[in-house]
Amino acid sequence: MLNISNNSILTRINTERFKSFQQNELPRANRMFSIWLICLLIIIVVVFFLPWTQNVQMKGSMTTYLPEQRPQSVNSVIAGRIEKWYAREGDLVSAGDTIVFLSEIKSAYFDPQLIDRTSNQITAKQSSVRSYKRKVEALDRQIEALGKELEFKKQQLQNKIYQAEFKQKSQEAAVEQLIMGEEIASFQYNRTDTLYQKGIKSLNDLEAKRLKVQEVQAKLITTKNKLQESQNDLSIAQLELQTIEATYRNKIEKITSDKFTTISAMYEAEVGISKMQNQHENYSRRNKMYYVLAPQSGYITEAIKSGIGEMIKAGDQIVTIVPSERELAAELYVRPMDLPLVTLGQEVRLVFDGWQAFIISGWADFSVGTYSGEVVAIDNVPNKKSLYRILIKSNQEDMPFPELLRVGAGVKGIAMLKDVPVWYEVWRQLNGFPADFYQNTIEKKESKFKPPVKSVAK
């Protein structure tokens, strides 16, 4: 009854004749369940020894590869008031197209002829500078004339000194001659007086000799006076020669001082011209800034400021524009413990939100609908959530990212690593160990994955 012995009687009798045997027999479902359990165990054992590709999974969103292709805000450079809109949300604008027109709100720029008046001021200042230049040239000519006049005066006084010296020498010679003549006349008079006393000479002869002595003495006195005058003239000429240079130097220095004063005023006028030219250029550029232009071709996505007559400040955002031409890239975030496993140039499989895909992360050959990408940038510092940002762009020209993708769409990334058995991967996941670190030196092979048909439809 308990079927303990190995010697069964079921083979010796016909069990179908007895209902008791049929009621005690095990049901067929139990046998099938046992078979399924054994098969499942065999499959699990086989699967545990199959190869499994380790991977790092990341999440993020779509962005653009180049910074200038990302959505940007169009700001107002100046403060103003909105007068007219030339574009609306959703419009495609080209670079340089007018988006909005602003009017002036600052009283310093209300004058409609402000630029013309500034130009007139610049012209007047330029005329003043030219006048200063002509005055400087005139002062230079005066200095040059005074220098030549000084040389002429010095030469004139030198000649006068030479003449006075010659006159003095001739008068000195005349004085010496008259002195000798006086001595001779006195000697002759004394001799005639002696002869007159002896009666040899007459009184007329004596008077004639006395008259001769008086004449010579008179001439001697006159010549000495003239000699003294010549000496005085020579001293005066020498003194004038000494003072004439100082006099003219004072005149030249005064004119030179006036020249430098004029040059200083000219430079101040030139500085004023530069300031006015700067103001003129600023006014001209400000007039152009009343029209807010599109920095590049793209779509107007959001009007931050709206309405007519609304006041805006300098630097305020007016609209947001998304460039029409862009190269998409995936912006994914990886944990610090997985960062060493990601390197530049590494291949990453991408799955976009809204695009169908069948994924088995460890068996890439069975995955369908993923796109291949290449790591092109890795941040050196984490964000506020302690995650590192990596940038991935398409590395296959024959299978680029879908054209219908938009910036900001969600994306998942799977970075393929080393091939290990399934049991090892299960053991690693249960223990929380990171994936095996290694440097991928194997040449990349052409991807076998193809996107679903719907993802490439236009």
Confidence of residue 36 (pLDDT cuts 50, 70, 90): confident
- Write down the pLDDT at residue 415: 81
Residue with token string 């006048």: 131
Residue with token string 């400000």: 286
Confidence of residue 451 (pLDDT cuts 50, 70, 90): very low
Residue percentage of the chain with pLDDT more than 70: 85
Confidence of residue 19 (pLDDT cuts 50, 70, 90): low
- Write down the pLDDT at residue 267: 92
pLDDT tens, position by position, 64-92? 888 888 888 899 988 999 999 998 888 89
| CA angle centred on 84, ends 81 and 85, rounded to 5° | 115
Mean pLDDT along residues 257-286: 91
- Write down the pLDDT at residue 442: 42
To the question of domain 52-67+327-456 being in CATH 2.40.30.170, the answer is yes
Residue with token string 């799977």: 414
- Write down the pLDDT at residue 458: 34
Do domains 52-67+327-456 and 114-288 share one topology? The answer is no
Dihedral sign, Cα of residue 129, residue 135, residue 141, residue 143: negative
Mean pLDDT of all residues in the chain? Answer: 80
Would the pLDDT of 309 be above 50?
A: yes
| Contact call for residues 299 and 321 (beta carbons, < 8 A) | yes
Confidence of residue 24 (pLDDT cuts 50, 70, 90): low
Mean pLDDT along residues 125-130: 90
**Amino acid letter, 124:** A
Q: Where are the domains of the chain?
A: 7-48, 52-67+327-456, 72-104+290-323, 114-288
Q: Which residues contact 234 (CB under 8 A, 6 or more apart)?
A: 161, 164, 165, 168
Mean pLDDT along residues 397-402: 76
User: Bigger pLDDT: 170 or 7?
Assistant: 170
Residue 337: left if φ>0, alpha if ψ -120 to 50, beta else—which one? alpha
Would the pLDDT of 59 be above 80?
A: yes
Q: What CA dihedral angle connects 240, 243, 249 and 255, to 10 degrees?
A: -70
**390 burial level (CB within 10 Å; 0-12, 13-18, 19+):** buried
What the block records as the tokens of 13 is 């009798």
- Write down the pLDDT at residue 262: 92
Would the pLDDT of 443 be above 50?
A: no
Closest CA to 440 of 51, 54, 50, 48: 54
Would the pLDDT of 2 be above 60?
A: no
| Overall size of the chain counted in residues | 458
Residue percentage of the chain with pLDDT more than 90: 19
Confidence of residue 389 (pLDDT cuts 50, 70, 90): very high
- Write down the pLDDT at residue 398: 63
| Contact call for residues 372 and 413 (beta carbons, < 8 A) | no
**31 burial level (CB within 10 Å; 0-12, 13-18, 19+):** exposed
Would the pLDDT of 388 be above 90?
A: yes
Residue 391 and residue 329: Cα distance in Å, rounded? 7
Q: What CA dihedral angle connects 296, 298, 302 and 303, to 10 degrees?
A: 50
Residue with token string 């006028």: 269
CATH of domain 72-104+290-323: 2.40.50.100
| CA angle centred on 272, ends 269 and 277, rounded to 5° | 125
Least confident of 171-180, 219-228, 234-243, 430-439: 430-439
Mean pLDDT along residues 2-7: 60
Least confident of 190-204, 245-259, 353-367, 443-457: 443-457
Mean pLDDT along residues 28-37: 74
- Write down the pLDDT at residue 11: 65
To the question of domain 114-288 being in CATH 1.10.287.1700, the answer is yes
Measured CA to CA in angstroms, residue 164 lies from 153, 174, 176, 179, 199 at distances of 16, 15, 18, 22, 50
Least confident of 281-295, 316-330, 432-446: 432-446
Confidence of residue 160 (pLDDT cuts 50, 70, 90): confident
**233 burial level (CB within 10 Å; 0-12, 13-18, 19+):** middle
Q: Which residues contact 99 (CB under 8 A, 6 or more apart)?
A: 74, 85, 86, 87, 93, 292, 293, 294, 300, 318, 319
**Amino acid letter, 8:** S
**pTM for the full predicted model:** 0.55
Confidence of residue 200 (pLDDT cuts 50, 70, 90): confident
